[in-house]
Amino acid sequence: MADTELSRNERRVLLVLSKKDKAPPEEVVRDGKFSELVEVMSAASWLKSKGLLDIHERIETSYTLDREGEAHARKGELPEFTLLKALKGDGKHEMGSLQGSGMDRDGMQIALGWMKRKGWVSIQKEGGKSFVSLTEAGKKQLRDGPETEELKVLKAVAGAKEGLPEEEAKRIGAHALGLLLTRKGILKVKERYLRTLSLTEDGKKVAASGISVGEEITQLTPEILQSGKWKEAEFRPYDVKTFAPALHGGKAHPLREAIAKIRDIFLHMGFTEIRMDYVESCFWNMDALFIPQDHPARDLQDTFYLKNPATAELPPKLTELVKAIHETGGTTGSEGWRYKWSEAEARRTVLRTHTTAATIKYLAEHPQPPLKVFSVGKVFRREAVDPTHLPEFYQIEGIVMEEGASFQMLVGLIKEFYQRMGFPEIRFRPSFFPYTEPSLEVEVKYRDRWMELGGAGIFRPEVTAPFGVKHPVLAWGLGLERLILRKYGIADIRQLYLGDLEWMRKTPLL
């Protein structure tokens, strides 16, 4: 390639990199005396398109302490060890007696769960009460002290001002790091994109050919012509065949575009859209759906409970009916869950964990057929952020209530929806949900693989009886992000929210 085919900045980048095997763009800015980083990256992009330079990109992951992690590091022990100290000695300890350990109810439940997971304690039920006993592993941990592998990782993170690199954290304890990342409020994950530039073999040859950096004119102006500088300056050749950057017009984000298409599909199928608040009581989020009050989904580890407002008002008549359903089955012929239902637990407020909280509330307000409604909205669950999980995501929800509604109708509706979304191959598998019977899971075929995308079923009588609903109610809840991942072939759910303009520009419309 001729020297004249390179811009002045391209030559400057080549000359700097000719003295290095590899260098970050910031180093090229400093050594080449560029005024801005954008000058180097623009020149590097052109050099890459000409085959003279490679741009290497990688993600550097590091960890800093979150609020609870800072508290544990300062204290020098994890909550499970604090609770472990309250169990010194042999014998059984009644669960209620552990309240004196200085932890609140939720904190104690989390600590106890980790103690059980680590094999430090065993839990037995006798006479309707729960008792905790130390295992040999728990006694050994008491003797060894609080210095677990997880605590070592926490202390190392606390001592790293700029964040502890992932490689160093794994060296201290890869398994311990994995456990800490599954816990809420312990570690913050920082990801930094790092770039380095290096010359290709062709780039090295061009740099070694004796290129020079002089004054260059890329565009003639009246001032240059009048001053006479054009007589001595070098003109950059204009090549009509040279590479030009692609121009992209504005368009909706793939997530917003998918939501718009889903709304359009349901509206054309005769549905009405409903929208409700993110904050709901446990009553509407779980109790009205016949989810028992000791169900794992209610744990603090899975659900976001609110401090303000901490409780919500309940509809008195419905509350009594739902209570009877849970305790005895009411008039449904069911035996219920056969436990003492707590109104205080039902009053607790949560960020809704599914949009079924909205549809069941709407159903209670409109118990007469026909009813065909859907919603596309955000739901919230205490999930660790990873390639397949987020604590905040979208759900597609719908119900149909009419005389003669059947399981076959439900299957047909779901098939029609996914076929309009571009998934012609669909199959169903039997499943279980506390609030539907029969229940199924929906799978679609994408790139020769079956992918589970949601659940559906017919509301149980225990769900619909308190509202006076006399006809079958078909219900489904489908994941939006997961559907988009399959449609676009994306491996990491976080890609949808990173704000990567290049990816969004290249992503085709649905």
pLDDT band at 90 (very low <50, low <70, confident <90, very high): low
Statement to judge: residues 139 and 104 lie in one domain: yes
Tell me, yes or no, whether 323 lies in a domain: yes
Per-residue pLDDT at 162: 85
DSSP states along 387-400: TTB-SEEEEEEEEE
Q: What is residue 246's predicted lDDT score, i.e. its pLDDT?
A: 74
The pTM (predicted TM-score) of the whole model is 0.55
Residue 244 included in any domain? no
Q: Which of 1-10, 250-259, 338-347 has the lowest mean pLDDT?
A: 1-10
Q: Which residue has the tokens 């008039």?
A: 331
pLDDT of residue 215: 63
- pLDDT band at 121; cut points 50, 70, 90: confident
Confidence check: pLDDT of 447 > 90: no
Instruction: Tell me which residue range forms the domain holding 202.
Output: 3-60+194-235
- Model pLDDT for residues 326-347, shown as the tens digit of each residue: 999 998 989 999 999 999 999 9
Q: Do residues 336 and 453 share a domain? A: yes
Spatial neighbors of 178 by CB under 8 A, at least 6 apart, are none
Q: How far apart are CA 257 and CA 144, in angstroms?
A: 56
Residues 455-464, mean pLDDT to the nearest whole number: 94
Amino acid at 443: E
Q: Is the pLDDT of residue 374 over 90?
A: yes
Mean pLDDT of 308-329: 94
For residue 446, pLDDT beyond 80: no
* Residue 358, SS3 per DSSP: helix
What 3 state SS string does 33-94 have? CCCCHHHHHHHHHHHHHCCCEEEEEEEEEEEEECHHHHHHHHHCCCHHHHHHHCCCCCCEEE
**Are residues 168 and 76 both part of a single domain?**
yes
- Is 400 contained in some domain? yes
Tell me whether residue 398 is in a domain.
yes
Asked if the structure places residue 243 within a domain, the reply is: no
Mean pLDDT for the stretch of residues 14-33: 91
Check the CA dihedral 291-295-299-301 and report its sign: negative
Look at residue 25 in the predicted model and tell me its pLDDT: 93
Residues 454, 486 within the same domain: yes
Q: Does residue 420 lie in a domain region?
A: yes
Q: What is the mean pLDDT of the chain?
A: 87
Q: Are residues 371 and 473 in the same domain?
A: yes
Predicted confidence (pLDDT) at residue 364 exceeds the cutoff of 90: yes
User: Whole-angstrom Cα distance, residue 304 to residue 218?
Assistant: 59
d(C-alpha 50, C-alpha 337), whole Å: 71
User: Is the backbone of residue 481 left (phi > 0), alpha (psi -120 to 50) or beta?
Assistant: alpha
pLDDT, greater one: 182 or 90:
182
Query: What number is the average pLDDT over the span 371-395?
Result: 89
Confidence of residue 196 (pLDDT cuts 50, 70, 90): very high
Tell whether 166 and 294 lie within a shared domain: no
Residue 145 has pLDDT above 70, yes or no: yes
Cβ–Cβ under 8 Å, residues 353 and 377 = no
pLDDT for 214 equals: 63
Q: Walk across the sheet containing 187-199 and list its strands.
A: 164-165, 53-65, 187-199
Residues 282, 231 within the same domain:
no
Tens digit of pLDDT for each residue in 468-477? 999 999 999 9
Query: Over 80: is that where the pLDDT of 192 sits?
Result: yes
Task: Report, as an integer, the average pLDDT of 408-413.
Answer: 94
Last residue of a domain, one of 129, 158, 188: 188
Locate 472 and state its tokens.
Answer: 């079958």
Lowest mean pLDDT among 34-48, 147-161, 189-203, 297-311: 297-311
| Measured distance CA(363)–CA(15) in Å, rounded | 71
**217 lies in the same domain as 265:** no
Domain match, 396 and 495 both = yes
Do 353 and 298 meet the contact criterion of CB atoms below 8 Å apart? no
Residue 100 lies in a domain: yes
Last residue of a domain, one of 173, 188, 203: 188
Which residue has better confidence, 227 or 215?
227
Of 182-186, 275-279, 431-435, 484-488, the poorest mean pLDDT is in 484-488
Do 138 and 173 share a domain, yes or no? yes
Portion of the chain with pLDDT greater than 70, in percent: 93
| Mean pLDDT, residues 426-432 taken together | 91
- Which of 113-122, 241-250, 501-510 has the lowest average pLDDT? 241-250
Do residue 151 and residue 293 come from a single domain?
no
Res. 4: pLDDT tops 60: no
First to last CA, the chain: 42
- Tokens at 368, concatenated: 């007469």
Question: Is 161 found in the same domain as 78?
Answer: yes
pLDDT at 223: 83
Bridge-partner residues for 348, per DSSP?
A: 311
Domain at 346, CATH number: 3.30.930.10
* Overall domain count for the chain: 3
Is pLDDT of 291 > 60? Answer: yes
Question: What CATH number has the domain bearing residue 169?
Answer: 1.10.10.10
Q: What is the mean pLDDT of residues 257-274?
A: 94
Looking at residue 510, its pLDDT comes to 63
Whether 250 is covered by a domain: the verdict is no
